[in-house]
């Protein structure tokens, strides 16, 4: 029997008062894929991820994650996903180790195993050098690293990642990419948003582009391209690009 897709969305809508953030979204994410979810600012990417994680209720439509309906089986879903949110919602008064141990315990790891994995993840993400530093004192890149470490601690089947590389230096970004690619090779699924299209082009095997709350194109990288276009050129063509106004005082 063929397993259910990692993500299956049908006619998904989210309305905030009079503003339509997501408008009839239909999307299927295959298991074992590295899936890029792209769009301009305000297109509905983060809102979609919040609905996928249960942080925001859908106004209409259906969501299934790994074969489980959301929100009816939300607890089962949350056991199986790892989340790196756009705004790293971390416990700032904890150290990295304390936070990772806490997350491991939340996923029902026994204390000893949670502590062991926390130490190993801190070493892996090069965060073990200052064990008494609280997260409030972390840089943005360090916060992203600890958020990703937390998303790994329970070995999820699906990663939902909103701008995971934002603010991360080149070394940290390379480390995170290598880890995610290894997770996909082992059968996990990664669903990520990113404005860094060179990263998406290098990592993703499937891509969907959203604009004004609707999917405007989806497919493999080759299916989205026209000729020898880069992903950036394809993206700009698909979402539409308006020439910027020229300011006389900027002319030389």
Question: What would the two tokens of residue 78 be?
Answer: 């949350």
Blockwise average pLDDT, block size 10, the chain, 252 residues: 91 93 95 95 92 93 97 95 81 94 96 97 92 92 93 97 90 92 96 90 94 93 88 88 75 80
Closest to 146 measured CA to CA, from 83, 196, 189, 53: 83
- Pairing mode of beta strands 158-162, 81-84: parallel
Asked whether 13 and 59 are in contact (CB, 8 A), the reply is yes
Give the span between the Cα atoms of 32 and 17, in whole angstroms: 37
pLDDT at 89: 74
Give the span between the Cα atoms of 135 and 147, in whole angstroms: 10
Closest to 205 measured CA to CA, from 60, 6, 2, 3: 6
Give the span between the Cα atoms of 59 and 131, in whole angstroms: 43
Phi-psi region of 75 (alpha: psi -120 to 50; beta: other; left: phi over 0): alpha
pLDDT at 120: 97
pLDDT at 244: 67
Asked whether 225 and 63 are in contact (CB, 8 A), the reply is no
Q: Residue 3: helix, strand or coil by DSSP?
A: coil
Q: Domain 7-242, what fold?
A: Rossmann fold (3.40.50)
Give the span between the Cα atoms of 80 and 187, in whole angstroms: 13
pLDDT at 242: 66
């Amino acid at each position: 029997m063929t397993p259910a897709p990692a993500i299956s969305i049908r006619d998904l809508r989210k309305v905030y008062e009079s503003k339509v953030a997501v408008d009839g979204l239909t999307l299927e994410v295959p298991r074992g894929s590295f899936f890029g979810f792209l769009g301009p600012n305000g297109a509905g990417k983060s809102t979609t991820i919040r609905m996928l994680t249960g942080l925001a209720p859908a106004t209409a439509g259906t969501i299934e994650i790994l074969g489980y309906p959301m929100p009816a089986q939300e607890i089962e879903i949350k056991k199986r996903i790892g989340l790196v949110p756009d705004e790293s919602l971390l416990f700032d008064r904890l150290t990295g180790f304390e936070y990772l141990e806490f997350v491991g315990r939340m996923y029902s790891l026994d204390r000893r195993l949670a502590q062991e994995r926390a130490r190993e993840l801190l070493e892996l993400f090069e965060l073990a050098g200052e064990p008494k530093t609280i997260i409030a004192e972390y840089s943005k890149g360090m916060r992203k690293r600890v958020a990703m470490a937390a998303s790994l601690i329970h070995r999820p089947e699906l990663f939902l990642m909103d701008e995971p590389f934002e603010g991360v230096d080149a070394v940290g970004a390379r480390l995170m990419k290598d880890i995610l690619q290894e997770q996909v090779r082992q059968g996990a699924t990664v669903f990520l948003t990113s404005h860094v299209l060179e990263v998406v082009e290098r990592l993703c095997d499937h891509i969907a582009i959203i604009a004004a709350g609707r999917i405007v194109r989806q497919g493999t990288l080759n299916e989205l391209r026209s000729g020898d276009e880069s992903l950036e050129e394809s993206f700009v063509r698909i979402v539409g690009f308006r020439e910027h106004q020229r300011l006389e005082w900027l002319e030389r």
